[in-house]
Structure 1
Amino acid sequence: MSVKHDLTQRTFEWAGAERLARSLLQIRAVEIYPENPFTWSSGWKSPIYCDNRMILGYPLCFDQVERGFIDAISQMTPGVDVIAGTATAGIPHAAAVARALKIPMAYVRGSAKGHGKQKQVEGRAGEGLSAVVIEDTLSTGRSAFEAVEALRAEGMNILAVFSIFSYDFAVCREKAEAAEVPAYRLLGFETLISTAVAESYVDESYLQVLKNWRLHPENYGM
């Protein structure tokens, strides 16, 4: 399956993105309520809630995501040495992809353990190895790019961050640019909301509201 590139944003969207969007909406991993927004831990009000942990309960959707990651990684970062998942949401997808590609896996804790060997990176790690980071959802990108830095502290070369879905916020793009690591996603914001409208999960009258929220999420509901 091919990948559609957007070099100006140093990102791409998987060619199976619309099908994936329909799957995430069907299993309610993504819910859209413009009139009754969710509150994120950051305090931002959001008309969209994405809980990709729901995918774990739906094997066909899980297989779809795995195929997307395999296609994208094989095309964008061929020859990668390690598939690294963020704890905890990226771990199951990293494990599935690493096994399918017969590539070693690692995972990155939010912080180093306070006991034992006090490691932050578990699994395959080492000087000079190339790695990609798998995250389930990119919003601000904080956890994904903290994982990038933890892997770099092990002497590893980070080729890219891959996610199932990205809100495509400017703050995440800025983190990617600062880290000089491209952030690739299987499904982007524009495709998600256009599919939601086409499949009648949200009324078309809210389309511009959702687009405006993505540009200025900190101001929504104020």
Structure 2
Amino acid sequence: MTERTGASMARLLLEGGAVQISGEQPFILAAGWASPAYVDCRLLIGEPRLRRAAVALAAAAVREALPAMPEIVAGAETAGIPWAAWLAEALDRPLRYVRKRPLGIGRNAQVEGGAVEGRSALLVDDLTTDGSSKATFVRGLRAAGAAVTHGLCLFHHGTFPGGAERLAGLGLSLVALASWRDVLAVRGACALPAAERAVLERFLSDPVAWSAAHGGRAMLERPAL
């Protein structure tokens, strides 16, 4: 992803208040890691200007990074669904969504919105931490017959070990619009205050040790592929 895209997405997240830094009470992320920093992309959903700009960046990134346009855009339950819907509209592609697990009633389907068999699908989510949830969604789409080689997220933590290996094992190439590097590079009125920046930089210098010292995971588990 280009530096310009990263800078633009990071600025949108900061303007929307989505980047939250807590030096006192750590956030426990979905993968079990403790972090002083949390990115809440859902805060952009309610702001028309911010969400339109984010979707425009996502559509441009897909056109730039993917070797071919996907036949289907698939949103990951739950936060990925609205972004997938807006991106599908921007790309003029059908929309599907994939659950963490089959519903257990009705059709008992994990993939909703129509058939995906024999079609290429772009998996869309708001965040990626260490790739654990992506494995669930990729397996669900592939079990339904979709070809899934690329995923897109608005923000990639990219700090904890094992994520790159897990994505590689899945055969999934991730397009991330922004990372912590992009957030730290932002200057001006919406940049992180100096004290919050210092907290984030200390964390990023050794995320696993920080997590262990603040009640989160203390070691890397072997990625489940």
TM interval, short-chain normalised: 0.7 to 0.9
SS of the aligned residue for 2:115 comes to coil
Q: CA deviation at 1:201?
A: 2.6
Q: Which deviates further from its counterpart, 109-118 or 72-81?
A: 72-81
Residue 125 of structure 1 is matched in structure 2 by 115
Pick closer, same or farther for the CA change 1:112–1:18 going to 2, 3 Å: same
* Residue 211 of structure 1 pairs with residue 194 of structure 2: no
Output the amino acid matched with 2:4: A
CA distance, structure 2, for counterparts of residue 15 and residue 34 of structure 1:
29
* Residue 221 of structure 1 pairs with residue 214 of structure 2: yes
Residue 37 of structure 1 is matched in structure 2 by 26
Superposition RMSD in Å: 2.3
Q: Tell me, which stretches of 5 or more residues in structure 2 are unaligned?
A: 216-225
The 8 Å contact of residues 11 and 186 in structure 2, kept in 1 or not, is answered as yes
Q: CA deviation at 1:41?
A: 5.0
Equivalenced residue count is 211
Residue of structure 2 aligned with 1:147, choices 137, 142, 151: 137
Q: Tell me, which stretches of 5 or more residues in structure 1 are unaligned?
A: 5-13
CA distance, structure 1, for counterparts of residue 169 and residue 18 of structure 2:
30
Output the amino acid matched with 1:62: R
Q: CA deviation at 1:35?
A: 4.0
Q: Which deviates further from its counterpart, 27-36 or 146-155?
A: 27-36
Residue of structure 1 aligned with 2:191, choices 195, 199, 222: 199
Q: CA deviation at 1:72?
A: 1.2
CA distance, structure 2, for counterparts of residue 214 and residue 74 of structure 1:
33
Pick closer, same or farther for the CA change 1:154–1:138 going to 2, 3 Å: same
1:118-141 deviations in Å (ceiling 9; x for gaps): 111012433221011001010122
Task: Could you list the structure 1 runs, at least 4 aligned residues long, displaced by more than 4 angstroms after superposition.
Answer: none
- TM-score with structure 1 length normalisation? 0.85
The 8 Å contact of residues 31 and 129 in structure 2, kept in 1 or not, is answered as no
Q: How does 1:109-188 map to 2 (within 5 A)?
A: 109-168=99-158, 169-188=160-179
Residue of structure 1 aligned with 2:85, choices 95, 100, 121: 95
SS of the aligned residue for 1:15 comes to helix
